[in-house]
Amino acid sequence: MCDSKPLLGGHNRLPTIRHFPHRIVKKSNWILKPATLRKCVVAVIVFSIALIIIYSKQTRSPYLTRFMQRSNRPEPNIRCGVLNGPRIIQNHDHKTDARLRSYPKVLVFVETMYSKLGRDIAELLVHTRIKYKIEVAGKSLPVLTNLDKGRYGVIVFENFNRYLQIDNWNRELLDKYCREYSVGIIGFITPEEETFVGSQLKGFPLFIHTNLKLKDAALNPASQILRLTRAGETAWGELPGNDWTVFQANHSTYETLEWANRNDNFQNNDSGAKLPLPTVIQDHGLFDNIQRVIFGSGLKFWLHRLLFLDSLSYLSHGQLSLSLDRKFLVDIDDIFVGEVGTRLRQEDVKALINTQARIANMVPGFKFNLGFSGKYFHHGNNEEDKGDDLILENIDKFMWFSHMWNHQQPHLYDNLTSLMEDMVLNKNFAKDKGIPIDSGYSIAPHHSGVYPVHELLYTAWKKVWNIRVTSTEEYPHLRPARLRRGFIHRNIMVLPRQTCGLFTHTMLIDRYPGGREKLDESIQGGELFQTIVYNPINIFMTHMSNYGNDRLGLYTFESVIKFIQCWTNIKLSSAPPLQLAENYFKLYPGEADPVWGNPCDDPRHQKIWSRNKSCDSLPKFLVIGPQKTGTTALYTFLSLHPAIASNLPSPTTFEEIQFFNAHNYLRGLDWYMDFFPSDSNSSAHYYFEKSATYFDGELVPKRVHALLPHAKLITILISPARRAYSWYQHTKSHGDIIANNYSFHQVITASDTAPKPLRDLRNRCLNPGKYAQHLERWLTYFTPQSLHIIDGEELKSNPVDVMNELQKFLKITPFFNYTEHLRFDPKKGFFCQVVNGDHTKCLGRSKGRQYPPMEEKSLKYLQRYYLSHNTALVKLYKKNGIRTIPNWLKDDLSDKTDS
């Protein structure tokens, strides 16, 4: 490497030893010429730079990567010819003059419940909140009508061949339904091993060519279907897969929606030009009066997802249209937080402001929303501290929200005072620097305390910052993102927050997981693009580190906004978080009430759950009722067991918490768990609770399953007629005005025009007795193996055997001998607890009270009223493997023919 040859030729060559003989350097027994020395120095420098590059790639040194990347920042490369052109939306809302008699719901026929395209379709419908029903394609059709209305507005076939091959009887029924109710069909031609060339679709003047590789897709700008999707551009490059189907038609009913070219030199016309091939085709219904859209490939191609949504809108006559308005906000967390060498410098802050201005031209009202932790202000090097200063010189150019002062996770605070002190420090910093403090929005570091809820955080937020809205990625879980929803707790609105692939460690585009190609895929039709398309309100989480270095965050958002404007008619705008939250819950008022999940089932949630909570203290089984069937007696018997512990009593509802069916649910998980204190000294291994009103609560099964998905359920059933009478007498004995002013027969026969208090008492008497209806609701969420049904009459007459069977069901050890602890009390007429060896302790005076016999006319009326419900209960017993039918049920059904 170090020789005496010149490095450059001609007159520019470096001096050699001949020109400067006096500068020979002597050392020991060898001589190094000056030119050679220079070459060595240059070589060492080059070699050192190479080592630095290699080292930086291996160690990810922030100093070195920052040094090298500043001169190589990515720039948005979206080139769109129609970006500034007119937006032509054909028939903006797809509404027609058709007299619609169908519900806005989609029926999806799939090959199996696990087929890939079927899952893709279902996930897309979930993400866009479009109602749907999945049906495995088979020999019979589901019920399509409900009285005079159609159940579905569009029918989708994952495999269009399934539609073509339906037997004549069902095909005629389906086609008749589509014609009468103006319902359209969407079908996908699925891949097959056999290749077809010019094969005719059964019964249609339409031919297909299959298993093609295609490229360069474009849309028909004249299509009436396009609404969300914008025509005018070409999606250049290979299309995913080598199993595409293209169409050839010989009837005017067909119109091309999408074209593409073969990915080879075949299919040229006489002039040598390639012919575009129809890949998605519209059937206007001129052939058989049924409108269809047929796709030559599935949803792997991102453009097909947009066309699928537009097809739903068009074929449903606008009933299944998505709004074109999208709200868009970018949070930048961790302002002032970051290691030296990774923070924003002055030039980065200027780029942030300049890019914000460009985005605001495309997204009205757009400003970056900066979240600050004041403790870390001026914690960088000299250049980065100047960047901090420049941010504060431009406070009014941004929106602002509070992080924690020291960036600590709120769930680690066990003391409200300490948590508030941290927040006050950040608030004082904001006041000192002139940062606005009235946004009403805040984010907890790592989403700690927002969900799973840490009550101290919500209290402190209210007291210090008057927070009205926050956001999180964690509700109900981080993944899948399509299921993220909002909720309101303690009058603080919690919005779903979206990820964009940028995290604290994604600072450089060449370090992006999968490289720049993967990021561009997300932007150009992939996950980030689809997130904005599917969600009406988008709050994106990013970090300060994404905006320094090579300014990856700026590249990402400017690019995706341009791509959205290029390919869609979506109207992006921005607004402060409080306005976004108000809009969100106007759109989705049903999401206001939260559904509390089990933090123990999610490792991420366990990490950000209050450390004084224990998974072991959640109940393992529930006694769900219904009322007046013997639930209090069962509660007492269970409490005798040394391995079982009930909840602490409630000051208002005694042994019942009534959490899942009442306003108590909105108090939150911490409130519920306070009834199950974790006690290491307790010998009980099984917590349970009994709330008899759970049985018929409409929302209860869903709520219970969300929090206690593995819980066992115990219900007690007696004759629904006798249960209704017992409830009436119970309310009467407690001084209920209606019960004291109306006879039982008057109550149960009250009409729907009766006074509301009377109707309410009628409903509480009658509705819980519709046993099969309520059990089916529970079995929607829980397996039959999770449910144990006790015969209430047997519990009363033979509680020892009932409790033994229950212990087996619960698999509780050690086995408890109830024979020694329960004894029949002839005065009370039921079994009581044995105490002090020979005495009994019975339930209170209100239990076992003797009521006057029910009138015969009331009993007959109720037996007729419950006939269909009792018949359904027998079927449910048999369906779920319960062989023994209770005697009371047989008796009620045996009198069904009596007048």
Residue 672 tokens, joined: 């519920």
Confirm or deny that 413 is annotated as ligand binding.
Answer: no
Sign of CA dihedral 738, 743, 744, 750: negative
CB-based burial of residue 164 (10 Å sphere; 0-12 exposed, 13-18 middle, 19+ buried)?
A: middle
Asked if residues 723 and 658 have their Cβ atoms less than 8 Å apart, the reply is: no
d(CA 533, CA 511): 27
Q: Name residue 487's beta-bridge partners.
A: 494
Annotate 33-55 with DSSP letters as a single string. Answer: -HHHHHHHHHHHHHHHHHHHHHH
Confirm or deny that 847 is annotated as ligand binding.
Answer: yes
Which residue out of 367, 427, 613, 628 is catalytically annotated? 628
C-alpha angle 477/460/478, rounded to 5°? 10
Residue 717 tokens, joined: 């059933």
Sign of CA dihedral 10, 14, 16, 18: positive
Asked if residues 225 and 282 have their Cβ atoms less than 8 Å apart, the reply is: yes
Residue from 183, 234, 185 nearest 79 by CA? 234
Q: Name residue 294's beta-bridge partners.
A: 187, 281
d(CA 214, CA 237): 9
Confirm or deny that 726 is annotated as ligand binding.
Answer: yes
d(CA 666, CA 776): 25
> What one-letter code names the amino acid at 421?
E
> What one-letter code names the amino acid at 275?
L
Residue 670 tokens, joined: 């911490």
Kindly report the three-state secondary structure assignment for every residue of 304-351: HHHHHHHHHHHHCCCCCCCCCEEEEEEEEEEECCCCCCCCCCHHHHHH
Residue 259 is given by DSSP the state: E
Confirm or deny that 604 is annotated as ligand binding.
Answer: no
Residue 518 tokens, joined: 């993967």
Peptide bond into 452 cis (omega under 30): yes
Confirm or deny that 448 is annotated as ligand binding.
Answer: no
d(CA 316, CA 325): 20
How many Cβ atoms are within 10 Å of 253's Cβ, its own excluded? 20
Residue 559 tokens, joined: 């690019």
> What one-letter code names the amino acid at 23?
R
d(CA 424, CA 432): 12
Residue 277 tokens, joined: 């091939």
Annotate 452-475 with DSSP letters as a single string. Answer: TT-HHHHHHIIIII---EEEES-S
Residue 577 tokens, joined: 């978080």
Residues 6+ apart with CB under 8 A from 424: 464
d(CA 223, CA 206): 19
Asked if residues 539 and 329 have their Cβ atoms less than 8 Å apart, the reply is: yes
* Long-range CB contact pairs, 510-514, < 8 A, 24+: 511/60, 511/65, 512/552
Asked if residues 312 and 267 have their Cβ atoms less than 8 Å apart, the reply is: no
Asked if residues 564 and 533 have their Cβ atoms less than 8 Å apart, the reply is: yes
CA separation, residue 799 to residues 133, 435, 795, 831, 846 (Å):
44, 69, 5, 7, 20
Residue 610 is given by DSSP the state: -
- The answer to whether 300 is a known catalytic residue is no
Confirm or deny that 66 is annotated as ligand binding.
Answer: no
Annotated binding site: 726, 847-851
Annotated binding site for 3'-phosphoadenylyl sulfate: 726, 847-851
Q: Which residues are catalytic?
A: 628
